[in-house]
């Protein structure tokens, strides 16, 4: 078992503090949902963990199996097993999905070791079939001209191919139609297991009825103000965030 | 000798290593060549000797590092070492010719069938004996309008040999004809040449591959002439992979006749300082010239590209797209001019130079220009410089791709728009592989 520990994490951009002391431990095999109003710092936290250069960690630590990853570059963190499924994935014109994923897999191999191309394509097609992505997509440039839903599916395809230990999934459900939500959820559930820990950022209880979380956390104004089990998500859906804010303010 | 009169530049500065004595030796060594050839060489040398070196005030050399084109310290076309068999491009070819220091070092002939249909892939010296008329008509027959008349004359004076490709009327050659021009030895000056004559309604693909043996300092002064007859179609690709110590000057001339189409792609992957001049003349209605180039500028190298699209007849089209990827402290210069003659109505001309800046210390210069004398035309030109988008870079790195490999992917992504214009997938793949090896070297 591995663990991703987020310890008293403070994140700033410019001189504005956005994440104000988050502590959370994700073990492989677990799914943690993070919910919270717009602009409370959920994406910022996820991007800071993945090593985005715009976000400065001013205090706290992020550790994998007890070892801090903060000194590592984003690409090293990814090779350590962190995967960020972006809320807004970038378009990379001229770079096909097939070549992109190949480079990502190649980066995980030892010096001098080469990808077995036929095995690679076999695996790629198998994952694409699972996510009901047309095989023609392999030749298309990464995310270029993709619909919102296609982008999200392509994020999950990458996750399936790269087999991270810890996936930070940022609103992977937004922009998906009902069928796509089902397909993506099935895809994520098929990856679920003792070797994968997931941090699932979402606004909707609906996703959590497909991908059932072990823990649910509420993030407000850069802090986790309440944690519970999956029933917390149902309660939020029914009552909104105000009561949590009040509860927190009065605590 | 009187010491009065106007002060002129010392002769050494005008001719560098290419002194009259050196030229005389060159002529002696080639004394058995065709009289017409030798006559041309003598006339060319006289032009070379008398023309001034480019100067600061020369608009055609604006932004260029003039010190870099000094001609001292080279020896013209020494016999190449026998070992210098340059690596071949990984593509199935219809025929090959390999030269080292301007001398034929190997070849594979066209198929019996193509030979029977009259396709000639030979040396220029063979062609001089067998097809003198064609040579007289097409060899260096076009004006030098882009600033290097002096160096083109030097090329003509010292050219040792080169490739001659003639495709008769209506004949189509499917696979590319590959010409390798090698340079061997420190200080070697080479004068590579490829002449392609595609007669009416013929079709041919030619690849020039320029390679140095080792990393020595060399001087390459090359030219290529492309002639596309009525309805002919030429695809021409050149991969400039000279050593990173080499000064490279290369002159292209393309003549496009009625309904003909020429697509040229120049890859600039080598050289310390490389200048490429490209002239397309659209001489008859329906002609189309597609001019493409990709450059990887790294280190403190300089790539200098000068282009001219001349529309001399109505209903002609030209489409230029030059893309540069700049790293480290490199420099690029692009200067392009579209000229539309008064009666070239319905011209459709496009010119675009795009620079991808991968370093804050790199410098790109763009000088696009138009000279339009007809009133019913469509001409567009533009130049852009952009940095790598940090979000794209983060996206790639977040997948575990290291910075160097991420840059490489982004460069390929940037280049793909040009590479995808090649119809032949095999050629596309071979050139991609070549680019990759050069990036990683
Ligand atoms: N690069 C940046 N520069 C300036 N402000 C930023 C930057 N990134 C995020 N912010 C600000 O930080 C706050 C938190 O943003 P973040 O994207 O983390 O919110 P979120 O919780 O993911 O919201 P949503 O639910 O809308 O996705 C917002 O006010 C946002 O404008
Ligand atoms: Mg967000």
3-class SS of residue A240: coil
| Least Cα separation, residue B352 to chain A (angstroms) | 18
Highest mean pLDDT among A110-114, A127-131, B152-156: B152-156
The pLDDT, as a whole number, for residue A199 is 98
d(CA B109, CA B115): 9
Residue A200 pLDDT greater than 70, yes or no:
yes
pLDDT (tens digit per residue) in B152-174: 999 999 999 999 999 999 999 99
Q: What is the CA radius of gyration of chain B?
A: 21
* Mutation choice for B interface testing from A104, A106, A169 by most B CBs within 10 A: A104
A93: which chain B residues are within 8 Å (Cβ-Cβ)?
413-414, 416-417
The predicted model gives B227-238 an average pLDDT of: 98
Q: Which residue has the tokens 């130049």?
A: B383
Structural tokens at position B201: 């309604």
Q: Which residue has the tokens 């997948």?
A: B399
A172 touches chain B (CB under 8 A): no
| Residues B116-138 pLDDT 10s | 999 999 999 999 999 999 999 99
Backbone angles phi, psi at B333, to 5 degrees: -130, 130
Other beta carbons within 10 angstroms of residue A116's beta carbon come to: 10
CA-to-CA distance for B339 and B369, rounded, in angstroms? 9
The complex scores an ipTM of 0.96
Chain A contacts of B425, Cβ < 8 Å? none
Which of A52, A94, A162 faces B412 most closely, judged by CB atoms?
Answer: A94
> What confidence tier does B10 reach under pLDDT thresholds 50, 70, 90?
low
Q: Do B398 and A108 touch (CB under 8 A)?
A: no
DSSP state of A241: S
Give the whole-angstrom CA distance, residue B321 versus residue B381. 10
Chain B residues contacting A via beta carbons under 8 Å:
389-392, 394-403, 405-406, 409-410, 412-417
CA dist list (Å): A154 to A134, A201, B131: 11, 17, 59
A81 close to B (CB below 8 A)? no
Q: What are the structure tokens assigned to B404, written together?
A: 């160097």
pLDDT in tens, A4-55: 999 999 999 988 999 999 999 999 999 999 999 999 999 999 999 999 999 9
pTM score, two decimals? Answer: 0.91
Residue for token pair 């469509």: B378
Number of H helices and number of E strands within chain A? 9, 12
Helix (H, G, I), strand (E, B) or coil at A81: coil
Picking from B321, B323, B393, B401 by the largest number of A CB atoms within 10 A of its own CB, the best residue to mutate is: B401
pLDDT 10s digits, B182-213: 999 999 999 999 999 999 999 999 999 999 98
Helix, strand, or coil here: B205?
strand
Task: Write down the pLDDT at residue A248.
Answer: 84
Q: What angle do CA B280, B137, B292 make, to 5 degrees?
A: 20
| Mean pLDDT, all residues of chain A | 94
Confidence category of residue B87, pLDDT binned at 50, 70, 90:
low
CATH of domain A3-90+165-250: 3.40.50.300
DSSP-derived pairing of the beta strands B188-190 and B120-123:
unpaired
Which residues of B are less than 8 Å from A51 in CB distance? 394, 397-398
Task: Find the residue in A nearest to B390 (Cα).
Answer: A53
Per-residue confidence (pLDDT) for residue B437, from 0 to 100: 87
Q: What is the mean pLDDT of residues B59-76?
A: 94
DSSP string, A31-68: EEEEE--TTSSHHHHHHHHHT-TT-EEEEEEEEETTEE
Kind of pairing, strands A92-96 and A141-142?
A: antiparallel
Residues A38 and A223: beta-carbon distance below 8 Å: no
Q: A87 vs chain B: nearest CA distance in angstroms?
A: 12
- Nearest bound ligand to the CA of residue A52: 1
Ligand 1, residues at Cβ distance < 6 Å: A 13, 18, 36, 38-44, 54, 87
Residue of chain B nearest A76, judged by CA positions: B400
DSSP string for B235-300: EEEEEEE--TT-EEEEEEEEEE-TT-EEEEEEEE---SEEEEEEEEEE-STT-EEEEEEEEEE-TT
> Which ranges in B4-55 belong to alpha helices (H)?
11-15, 20-29, 35-50
In the numeric block, the tokens 């339009």 are attached to B372
Q: Are B297 and B285 in contact (CB under 8 A)?
A: no
Confidence band (pLDDT; 50, 70, 90) for B215?
confident
* C-alpha dihedral, B54 to B180 to B330 to B391, nearest 10°: 140
- Say which residue the tokens 């070297």 belong to: B441
Query: Residue B354: enclosing H or E segment and its boundaries?
Result: strand B348-357
Q: What is the distance in A from the centroid of ligand 1 to the CA of A44? A: 6
Query: What pLDDT digit, counting tens, does each position of A132-146 carry?
Result: 999 999 999 999 999
How close is the Cα of A53 to the center of ligand 2, in Å?
A: 17
Contact A63, A69 (CB under 8 A): yes
A89 to B390: CB separation less than 8 angstroms, yes or no: no
What is the CA A59 to chain-centroid distance, rounded? 22
Residue A175's pLDDT is: 86
Query: Coil, helix or strand for A80?
Result: helix
Residue written as tokens 């959590």?
A208
Q: Which residues fall inside 5 Å of ion ligand 2, going by CB?
A: A 42-43, 87
B13 confidence band (pLDDT: 50, 70, 90): confident
pLDDT at B1 over 60: no
Residues B188 and B168: their CA atoms lie apart, in Å, by 36
Tell which residue, B404, B407, B402, B394, has the closest CA to residue A47. Answer: B394
Nearest CB to B399: which of A93, A94, A104? A104
Q: What angle do CA B184, B188, B189 make, to 5 degrees?
A: 120
pLDDT at residue B82 tops 60: no
pLDDT tens per residue, range A152-185: 999 999 999 999 999 999 999 988 999 999 999 9
Convert the pLDDT of each residue in B88-119 to its tens digit.
Answer: 688 999 999 999 999 999 999 999 999 999 99
Q: Which residue has the tokens 């340059």?
A: B86
DSSP code for B84: -
Contact list in A for residue B400 (CB cut-off 8 A) is 75, 78-79, 104, 107-108, 162
């Amino acid at each position: 078992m591995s663990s991703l520990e987020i310890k008293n994490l403070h994140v700033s951009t410019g001189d504005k503090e956005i994440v104000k002391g988050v502590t959370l431990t994700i073990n492989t095999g677990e799914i943690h949902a993070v919910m919270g109003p717009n602009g409370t710092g959920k994406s910022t936290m996820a991007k800071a963990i993945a090593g985005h250069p715009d976000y400065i960690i001013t205090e706290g630590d992020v550790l994998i199996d007890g070892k801090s990853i903060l000194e590592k570059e984003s690409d090293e963190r990814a090779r350590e097993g962190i995967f960020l499924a972006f809320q807004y994935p970038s378009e990379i014109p001229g770079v096909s999905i097939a070549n992109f994923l190949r480079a990502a897999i190649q980066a995980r191999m030892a010096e001098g070791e080469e990808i077995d191309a036929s095995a690679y394509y076999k695996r790629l097609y198998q994952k694409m079939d699972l996510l009901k992505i047309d095989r023609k997509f392999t030749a298309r440039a990464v995310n270029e001209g993709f619909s919102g839903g296609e982008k999200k599916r392509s994020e999950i395809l990458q996750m399936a191919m790269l087999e991270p230990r810890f996936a930070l999934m940022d609103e992977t459900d937004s922009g998906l139609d009902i069928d796509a939500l089902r397909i993506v959820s099935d895809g994520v559930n098929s990856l679920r297991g003792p070797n994968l820990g997931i941090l699932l950022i979402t606004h909707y209880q609906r996703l959590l009825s497909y991908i059932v979380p072990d823990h649910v956390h509420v993030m407000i104004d850069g802090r986790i103000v309440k944690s519970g089990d999956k029933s917390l998500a149902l309660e939020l859906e029914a009552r909104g965030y105000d009561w949590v804010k009040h509860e927190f303010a009065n605590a | 000798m009187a010491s009065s009169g106007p002060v002129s530049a010392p002769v050494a500065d005008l001719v560098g290593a290419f002194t009259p004595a050196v030229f005389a030796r060159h002529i002696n060594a080639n004394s058995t060549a065709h009289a017409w050839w030798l006559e041309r060489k003598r006339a060319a040398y006289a032009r070379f000797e008398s023309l001034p070196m480019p100067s600061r005030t020369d608009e055609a050399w604006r932004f260029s590092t003039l010190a870099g084109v000094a001609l001292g310290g080279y020896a013209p076309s020494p016999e190449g070492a026998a070992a210098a068999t340059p690596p071949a491009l990984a593509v199935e070819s219809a025929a090959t010719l390999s030269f080292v220091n301007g001398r034929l070092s190997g070849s594979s002939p066209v198929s019996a069938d193509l030979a029977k249909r009259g396709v000639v892939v030979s040396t220029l010296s063979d062609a001089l004996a067998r097809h003198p008329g064609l040579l007289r008509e097409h060899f260096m027959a076009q004006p030098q309008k882009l600033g290097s008349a002096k160096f083109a004359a030097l090329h003509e004076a010292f050219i040792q040999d080169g490739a001659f490709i003639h495709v008769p009327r209506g004949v189509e050659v499917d696979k590319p004809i590959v010409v390798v021009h090698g340079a061997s030895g420190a200080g070697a000056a080479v004068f590579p040449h490829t002449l392609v004559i595609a007669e009416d309604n013929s079709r041919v693909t030619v690849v020039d591959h320029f390679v140095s043996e080792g990393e020595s300092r060399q001087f390459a002064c090359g030219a290529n002439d492309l002639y596309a007859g009525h309805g002919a179609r030429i695809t021409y690709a050149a991969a400039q992979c000279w050593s990173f110590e080499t000064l490279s000057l290369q002159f292209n001339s393309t003549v496009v006749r009625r309904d003909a189409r020429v697509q040229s792609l120049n890859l600039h992957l080598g050289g310390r300082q490389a200048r490429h001049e490209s002239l397309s003349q659209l001489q008859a209605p329906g002609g189309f010239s597609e001019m493409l180039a990709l450059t990887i500028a790294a280190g403190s190298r300089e790539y200098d590209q000068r282009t001219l699209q001349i529309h001399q007849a109505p209903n002609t089209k030209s489409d230029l797209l030059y893309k540069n990827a700049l790293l480290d402290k490199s420099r690029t210069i692009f200067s392009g001019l579209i000229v539309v003659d008064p009666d070239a109505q319905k011209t459709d001309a496009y010119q675009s130079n795009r620079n991808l800046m991968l370093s804050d210390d790199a410098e790109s210069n763009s000088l696009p220009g138009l000279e339009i004398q007809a009133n019913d035309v469509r001409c567009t030109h533009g130049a852009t410089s952009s940095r790598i988008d940090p979000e794209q870079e983060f996206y790639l790195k977040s997948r575990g791709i290291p910075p160097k490999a991420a840059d490489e992917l982004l460069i390929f992504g940037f280049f793909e728009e040009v590479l995808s214009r090649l119809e032949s997938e095999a050629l596309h793949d071979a050139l991609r592989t070549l680019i990759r090896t050069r990036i990683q070297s």
